[in-house]
Amino acid sequence: MTFLPYNNNLKPFAKKLRTNSTDPECMLWKYIRKKQILNVQFYRQKVIGDYIVDFFAPAVKLVIEIDGAQHYENDGVEKDLSRDAYLNELGLKVLRFDNNQVKGSLNSVLDAIYHYVEVNLR
């Protein structure tokens, strides 16, 4: 297994984010934790490079991001494009969902995650 780069200085901030998760993050975590999707382990607020991703499943190289309104402003869009490009260079797939999708269509979000995991599980 190849180890991903990470900025050790971000670990305390990632821990803080884990204890202060948003409602949509908590909703999704309830269904993907403890290997509930095809026995694949997901991690919350994982440091990868100089970024902290919302959820990460190393077995299928999947990053899941739950986006709030700030991600749709010009600055947020540019940052996300740069972040996604970096993660893609590492061989990771990024699935993005907005808060409203998680709150209003959780089953559709879970179906998309399940489908990706099923197709990419080795």
What are the residue ranges spanned by the domains of the chain?
Answer: 8-120
How confident is the model at residue 41, as a pLDDT? 98
pLDDT tens per residue, range 45-97 = 999 999 999 999 999 999 999 987 564 566 768 889 999 999 999 999 999 99
Is-contact 121 40, C-beta < 8 A? yes
- In CATH, the architecture of 8-120 is 3-Layer(aba) Sandwich (3.40)
Distance CA 116, CA 63 (A): 11
Is-contact 49 86, C-beta < 8 A? yes
How confident is the model at residue 77, as a pLDDT? 80
Prediction pTM value: 0.91
